[in-house]
Each structure stands twice: as structure tokens, then as C-alpha cells.
Structure 1
């Protein structure tokens, strides 16, 4: 009776009552220990579930298959219990239920969750019989560990073994296919799903749509969405996210309205994606509609992430009043909210208010992040204040964020614009791995201040390090040549840009070339080129 009470209390989520009853059992047997471990596991207190398993071992009570499967589920769920999981594996090895298939599958699943695919595979290979659950667990282990090819190979092995996939298999292999550069495997998988009839499962349809979305194919994601017979909020969210993140904001927002018309309430992810779409397209009208939906669902007040997305949308749409009103409504402001409001002031040219807000953020005990500092450096650029920029740089060093590539790039640009080339060079020199943006920023710094020879030397260094230039890099190089009258060098770099790097010339490139020829006195050539330029 006591064991049944522990079981009942556990099912009713009253773990404290289950514990009281368990503590009253004079000599708990294996069933007693199993039900209390299950009570903690089912209520997501995985630490206590593992602790009780340890106590059970210390008491000399031998676990059965159900106990071991239960504790393995806790080891898998908490992701900091690998050592305990291996202990459980040790208990299984050599026992009478070492070859018990559900237990072996639980081990494959546990090792897979920790990314230990070799250990998962060793258990899998040692199994005498494997069912669809076992195969799916192994495929999932490979997929979640980023081993897409091995997952695909396992999927084919499963077919050769005569085991038919189920919805879990298809969800896992869809995740694996996200890493494939080839479209063929994805098409083959989708065809197999439709042939097997599993496209009627919403979770499988969602996974197919998500796979195409992650592979940068919003059109196929939309087609997969249209085939889902019973769409849930995840279905709508996946395809709306796919469209809005691939510069199809209008189509995504139309689908958002269709979602509302179908009576499906959007989740946090859907609202944030739609708000982001309105932000980047500066769609103030639809932004207000999405905000209204968020407010009606109570997410404006309950979700800081949604509230911050609303703030950012108003900021990017140029409505500082609405952005400020939203900021004041957020009761628990994190660094993202503070940074969004600082950005709003910066975008409106209100540099003093931005700096004042940063001081308030400091007083509120919120530590700035990389994005905060990038915005603050932009504020200093707007103010053309070298002294204030140096102060922000000191804070960046204090916070240990100078190693951030994005922050370093912002500082190089700032010091370059301010004419402090020595400081720009020091920041650049301390970078662990300069990117194309970093190189372009330092080249531009020297080019802007008539140090053309140094700018070209830096470009040659960049070339030797194997960093490929882009169109912006060449605008900087042509600018450097133009301001030093280096006609032949400028022509050579222009030809290399088009011929060697395959970069199409833009109006800005041709403008630099006209300026170069004009400054060098080649007026006839400059006039011919100017006449050939698009209006």
C-alpha cells in the first residue's frame, strides 16, 4: 500500500508527500526505490532521482530493468550526469538483463544526448536485435552530434536491415539533412516520407519545413507547410520564420495574418520573428498589428524577449516615442532591452541621451555586452569625441570584451575616423584572427588620412594571408589610389577586382576611378568613363 501511495503522489506531482510516505517504509524493496526515483524523474528533479539511485546501491538493493531505465532517463535529461550514466552502465554490464533491448536503447539515447557517439555506437553494435526505437535513437545521436553523413548512412542501414522508419526516425533524419550541401538527399528523404504516409504526422511535416528553412530554401519550406494536414503553432512559426529570415517579410506577415484568421495563437518565437521582419522592412503598420496581438495575449508584460522586440521594432521604424514607452513598460530590463533603447537614441542622433542611458544601465547593475559597446562606439563616432571613445574603450578592456572581433572592428573604424591611426593599429594588432571586415577597416583608416602607401601594404598583407577582398575593400583601395594620384596602381587593382576576383563594378568603384583619372590630369579618359557610367 505504501508503495502505491508513493506512486500515486508522484503521478500527482506531489513529490514531498511521496517522499514522506517513502521515508516511513521500514524496509523499502526494489519497487519502493523505483517508484520514488520515478517520482523525482517525472517531476524533473533529476538530481534527486540520481541521489536516490546512489542511496539504493549503498543500501544493497539491486536495481531492476525499470529502475535502470528510469535513472538513465534522468541522466539523459540533466546533461551533467554522464559519470552517473556510466555508473548505471556498469551496473548493467554482466547482469542478467545486459541484453534487455529497452535498456540498451536507453544507453544509446543517454550517450547520444551527451554527444558520445562512439560509446552510443559501441552499445548499438553490441545488440543482438534492434527495433525501430533503437535505430532511431542511434540516428538521433548522430544527427544531434552534427554527424549528418553518419546519420544518413545509418538510415540506409536501417532500411537494409528490414526495419521501417517511424515518425521519430524521420524527425531525426530531417535534422541530419540540415547539414547536407546537396539538395538530392533532402528530396529523396521527402519522397520517402510521402511514400511511407508519415507526412500526415504534424511533427514530421514541421521537421521537413524546418529542414528546408535551415538550408536556405523558404520556397520548399512553404510547400512542406502547405502539405501538413493538421497545422499547429509550430508549423506556422517555422514557415513564418523561414520567410521573414530570408527577406520575404511581406509574405511572412501575410501568413501571420492567415494564422490569426485560422484561430491559432502565435507563440513567442512567431511574434519575435514577425516583429524582426517589421523592423528590417520598416513596416510600422504591421509592426503595430503584431504588437497589438502580443499585448492581447499578455506577452507584452510576461515576455521580456517579446517586449524588447517591440521596442526594437519601434526604434527601427523611427518611432522613438513608442520605443521609449515600451522600454518604460519592461519591469525586468536585461542587457538586450537596455541596448535596444541605447540604439534607438543613437539612430535618432540623440547621442547625449544614449550616453546618459548607459550610465543609468550601469547604476541598475546591468553589465554591457558586445552589442552594447558596439552601439556606444557608434555614439562616440557620431559625436566625433575621441576622449569619450577612449573612455568606452577602457570599459571594454575592463569587461574583457576587447577580444571580441565585432567590438575590435568597431574600435578600428572609430579610431580610423578620428585620425588616431596608432590606436587603430594597436587594436588591429591585438586581434587573434582578423576578418575581412577587420582588414577593410584598418585599410580604410589609413586610406582616409592620405596614407595610401600604407593602405596598399596592408592590402598586400591581407592577400598573403589568404583573405579574399569584397567590393567594399576595393572601394577603399581605389580611394587610396585616387587620393595619391597612383593611376597605374588604381587601374591594375580595378582590373584585378573584375578579372581575378569576379566582383562586378558598381557606381562607387567607377566614381573612384573617374576621380583617380581626373586628379592625375587624364581628363579625357575621366570624361569618357563618366559618360559610360549608369545614371
Structure 2
């Protein structure tokens, strides 16, 4: 160009900035200054956009200083660009101060600062500013509805979400795709699936975002099969899944303990090109671990081209859940040696492994390391692991002392750990104290505390006290959770309950159980009738033990799967000591590896030995 002016420089700066050519945009800006051309608000908007892409906070702050000197900082267009710049760097203090000092504001100013507060988790500030925005004369259709709905979704505030929805309808903003997507997410996360599906089906365009929102909503609420059905529908609609979608459906297959389904999703991830993504890899690693395939988890970790704290934590957790304390601690130390700073999740897995394997001294050492070396403040769940670890090893005085010294009151999980350990160590005095604490709580998750106390009395033959506990349980309207187990055969989950004898193949299952019982007796197995917690004849107790849900599942697997193939059983409650002893003998007789995932951990049975080392 023979002649240039501010307009041509501005056009070039903004063009470069929009196309991601950040260094070129900044070079043109510097040339503009040298040649003495006067910048405009469009100039600074383009330069700040380039600074965001360049990931250079210091350069942006220099531009801010230049704006103050030239008097452009008072321009609302430039001020909004600066607000956006600081919000992208999570500079909440700077953004808030700038917003308060801006002489002129518009709807965009409010949108940017509200979104900035929302991203930073400062929900009250965001809500307060949104209320303030409603009393302005700015275009109500352009209010940050999507941001406010995301807050309602994250804090599970259905009433707030419905109020925002009403306001969006009044302003017709609900017809905008981004608002519609946010409405689906909010209603799904709040468990209002009828509303979520109605809005989802009415969307003009259903991209990956709303599909993932409604799928994850179902999965987070425990409706795993519904989430998987929607994923199948999404696949048939030729909508491409992203890493968030895969994370949700992997969680569903993990909770269903469906290894075959998990492997199908693994192939989906590979075909979709997300295998190199560290978060997808970590989710797959976690899925294999929780489906009892620790070998696949380790192999997946070894092949990961990139690792971060999430992937290391997934590996450490995998070893901890499967009862391998040595591998857990080795992986933790390797992670530290690799330059990663352990976080609260890392230590929770380590403490859990120490608890489940009786490594009290190691657990105490890591708990001290957490605070003294890594400057992490233990959370309630870390104290719960420590209490569990001390109680499991019978060190009740130390556990009580730790609970007294905690910065918060013991909760249901801690007292339940105490109660369970009292049952193992036959400590009735402390068990009564723990039970009193639990029974005085306004809300209990389930009947576990009552059942544990009832079992303690039953094991001691104090049937009158058993009756009193059951009466108290009925008075509070708490029902005992039925024990059930499930096993996956030919890509289908088969559920068994000790109280359900209506399975079409029950006669075959009975024959298999009787045959195994005779072989187990020859191997020296003797039923532990203290686990049959009913005031009945001894022979009836022995007979009832045979039909515990995990044994029904194993018997069904034996008549339905090829000889020698491994068996994976998932149980909703903790396995009793008699079943643990029985399954050890069964694994030796049938020469198969049996993996049982109960509510507490994994047990890998092979050749008459369990991976837990019989540490209860």
C-alpha cells in the first residue's frame, strides 16, 4: 500500500488476531506505534485478543497500563476487552476491580464479569451481579442465561434453575441453542429427566453438547442403563462423541462392572481418535481396574504417551482397590520421582491401601508426610481412612483419640468403620457407643449400622438385643438393604439375591451348589455359622449359608461359561467371612480365578488363596 492509516492497521491487527496469528498481530501493533498512527478502541480489542491467545499475562498488563496513559481505559468497548482478558487468566481480583472502576458499563460488561465469577466458583457474587443486571435497561435477551443455568446445575439448585428458565422464556432466549443446551444440563443434573428430555427433543440442533449433558445426568444419578441407551441412540444419529461423553459412559460400564461393555467403549475411543487424550486414557484405566482387570489397567498405563496427576492417581487407586499395597506405594513413589506433586486423591488411595492391608505404621507415616512435607490439609475422608485403619488393627484407643483431635465431628462413615471393626474384634462396649452415635443421627444412608449392631448381638447369642435393634429400626422406618450379586454372562448381567429362588435355572444352580459343598467338605471347609445371623437350628444356618448371593452367582457362572474361564462377581454389600473362606476353597476345586468386588474392595481368589491375605 503506498499509504497506510489507522483503519488499515486496525483491519490487519484484528484479522491476524482472529486467525490466531498472535505474534503477527502484536508486530503490526508495534509498527503502528513507531509510525505514530493513533490507535482506536478496535486496535486495543484486537491486541488484547492476541494477548489471550499468546498466553502472555504480562504483555496484557502492559497494554492495560498503556490504555490508562492514553485514556482509552474509560471506553466501554476497550474495558470489556480488558475484562475478557483478565477473566481468561482467572485474574478474579483484577477483573472485579476493573469492573468496579469502569465509568460506563453495558450488558457485555455484566456478562463477562458474571461468567468470570461463575468459572471461579464464586457463585454468590455471580448471582448478586445477575440480580443487579435485571434492574438495568440492557437487552434482557442477551443476559448470561447459560452461565446462570450452569451455576444452578453445579449446586443442584432446581428452584433457581426454574426461575432462570422462566426468565429465558419471557425474553425468548430459551430458543437460543446455547441456552437450550444449558437447560438440558441443568434439569438432567437435578434429576428432572422428564423436563430434560422434553427440552432435549425440542432442540433445533442436537450437537455433542446436549447429548453428553443428558447422558452424564442419567449416569451421575445412577441410571446407568438409561445413559447407555441414549449413547446408542446418539451413535445411531451419527453424532460424534467427545471425551466428556466417553467419561460418562465409561463410568456407567464401571458401575455396572461390565467388562465386555467397557472393551466396546475402549474400541469406540480408539476409533474416535481420543486414545492419546490423557483424560480418556485415565478413565479407561479406572474402568478396567473397577471391572477387576488390573492387568489391562497396568498395560494401558504403560502405553500412555502422556501422563498427568489424573492418570497416576488412576493407577494408584487401581492397585489400592485391588488390595495390592506394595504396588500402590511403589506407584506413589514413582509418581513423586517423576516430578508430580501428589494431591489429596493420591494420599486417599495410599491410606486406603494401608488400611486394607494392615500397614498401620506405613499409613501413619504417609499421613504425617501429607501435612508436613506436601502441605496438604487432610479432609474428612483422609481421617475416615485413618480411623478405619486403626480400628481394623484393633487400635481403638488411638482411633478414638484421633477422632477427638479432628477439626470436625465424626460422621456416619467413621462411626460405621468403628462399629464394623468392633464386630470383628468383638468389642461390644465400643460397639454400643458407636451404635448410639449412629442411631442418634437424624439421617442415615441405609440400615448398615443397625444390621452391624444386630449382627454383633447375634454372634454373641444375645437374641433379645437383636430384637430390640430390629424394633428400633422399624420405628425409624429404616429397611434392611437386601444382599444381591451380579455376574456378566454373554454380555448380559444376571442378578441374584439370597431371597430370590425364581431364576429359570435355579434347579441346575442348586445341583452345582450341592456338588461343590461335598467337594468343599473333602477339602476341609467348615461352615462358619456365626455368619448366619438368625435364631434357628444349626443345620438351617448351614443350609442358608450355601445360598448367599455371591455363591448363587458363582454357581450360575460355572454352569454357563467355558471351563477354566475367569469369573467376576459384583456384590452390593460386604462379603461375609464364611463366603470368603468358601470361595477360596471353590477357586481351588474348580481351578478358576474368581474375582469378587464387594462394597469395600476387590478380592482375587486363585488356587485357594485370596489377594487380601485374609486381612479383614
Give the TM-score range, shorter chain. 0.7 to 0.9
Change (3 A) 1:294 1:232: same
2:28 alignment partner in structure 1: 18
Give the number of the structure whose residues are more often helix, by fraction: 1
Deviates more, 1:462-471 or 1:141-150: 141-150
1:308 alignment partner in structure 2: 282
Shift of 1:430: 2.5
1:320 alignment partner in structure 2: 294
Change (3 A) 1:482 1:431: farther
1:475 to 451, 456, 462: 451
2:204 alignment partner in structure 1: 229
Change (3 A) 1:306 1:51: same
Q: Does 2:221 align with 1:246? A: yes
Structure possessing the higher relative contact order (Cα contacts under 8 Å, 6 or more residues apart): 2
1:369 alignment partner in structure 2: 343
- Asked if 2 retains the 8 angstrom alpha-carbon contact of 1:240 and 1:253, the reply is yes
- Asked if 2 retains the 8 angstrom alpha-carbon contact of 1:76 and 1:109, the reply is no
Instruction: List gaps (5 residues or longer) in structure 2.
Output: 18-23, 484-498, 500-528, 550-616
Q: Distance in 1 between matches of 2:161 and 2:95?
A: 38
Q: Does 2:430 align with 1:454? A: yes
Shift of 1:282: 1.9
Shift of 1:415: 1.6
Change (3 A) 1:464 1:346: closer
CA-to-aligned-CA distance 1:475-511 (integer Å, 9 cap, x gap): 2332344455655554333322220x22114568x99
Deviates more, 1:229-238 or 1:476-485: 476-485
Q: Distance in 2 between matches of 1:205 and 1:64?
A: 33
- Asked if 1 retains the 8 angstrom alpha-carbon contact of 2:87 and 2:95, the reply is no
Equivalent positions of 1:429-468 (< 5 A) are 429-433=404-408, 434-461=410-437
1:359 partner SS: helix
- Asked if 2 retains the 8 angstrom alpha-carbon contact of 1:342 and 1:357, the reply is yes
Q: Does 2:370 align with 1:419? A: no
Q: Does 2:254 align with 1:279? A: yes
2:552 alignment partner in structure 1: none
- Asked if 2 retains the 8 angstrom alpha-carbon contact of 1:15 and 1:39, the reply is yes
Equivalent positions of 1:32-431 (< 5 A) are 35-41=43-49, 43-44=51-52, 48-58=59-69, 63-80=74-91, 82-83=93-94, 86=97, 89-90=100-101, 92=103, 98=104, 103-109=105-111, 111-113=113-115, 115=117, 144-145=123-124, 166=141, 168=143, 170-171=145-146, 174-175=149-150, 178=153, 186=162, 189=165, 193=169, 200-301=175-276, 303-398=277-372, 399-401=374-376, 403-431=378-406
Q: Distance in 1 between matches of 2:121 and 2:371?
A: 40
2:275 partner SS: helix
Change (3 A) 1:375 1:234: same
- Asked if 2 retains the 8 angstrom alpha-carbon contact of 1:37 and 1:50, the reply is no
- Asked if 2 retains the 8 angstrom alpha-carbon contact of 1:5 and 1:21, the reply is no
- Asked if 2 retains the 8 angstrom alpha-carbon contact of 1:7 and 1:39, the reply is no
- Asked if 1 retains the 8 angstrom alpha-carbon contact of 2:388 and 2:418, the reply is yes
Change (3 A) 1:429 1:484: farther
Deviates more, 1:366-375 or 1:314-323: 366-375
Change (3 A) 1:223 1:153: farther
- Asked if 2 retains the 8 angstrom alpha-carbon contact of 1:384 and 1:418, the reply is yes
Q: Distance in 2 between matches of 1:395 and 1:66?
A: 51
Q: Distance in 2 between matches of 1:82 and 1:390?
A: 39
1:8 alignment partner in structure 2: 12
Change (3 A) 1:344 1:461: closer
Q: Distance in 2 between matches of 1:209 and 1:492?
A: 48
Deviates more, 1:276-285 or 1:304-313: 276-285
2:479 alignment partner in structure 1: 504
Shift of 1:237: 1.1
- Asked if 2 retains the 8 angstrom alpha-carbon contact of 1:490 and 1:513, the reply is no
Shift of 1:20: 2.4
Residues paired across the two proteins, number? 484
2:261 partner SS: helix
CA-to-aligned-CA distance 1:76-118 (integer Å, 9 cap, x gap): 44442644654575462xxxxx5xxxx34344345534659xx
1:166 partner SS: helix
Change (3 A) 1:204 1:394: closer
CA-to-aligned-CA distance 1:450-485 (integer Å, 9 cap, x gap): 332233234435666767574122223323444556
Shift of 1:306: 0.5
Instruction: List gaps (5 residues or longer) in structure 1.
Output: 93-97, 117-139
Q: Distance in 2 between matches of 1:8 and 1:437?
A: 62
Tell me the TM-score normalised to structure 2 length.
Answer: 0.66
Q: Distance in 2 between matches of 1:86 and 1:350?
A: 52
1:129 alignment partner in structure 2: none
Shift of 1:239: 1.6
Q: Distance in 1 between matches of 2:30 and 2:167?
A: 55
Shift of 1:307: 0.6
Q: Distance in 2 between matches of 1:57 and 1:346?
A: 56
1:299 partner SS: coil
Change (3 A) 1:184 1:146: closer
RMSD, aligned α-carbons? 4.3
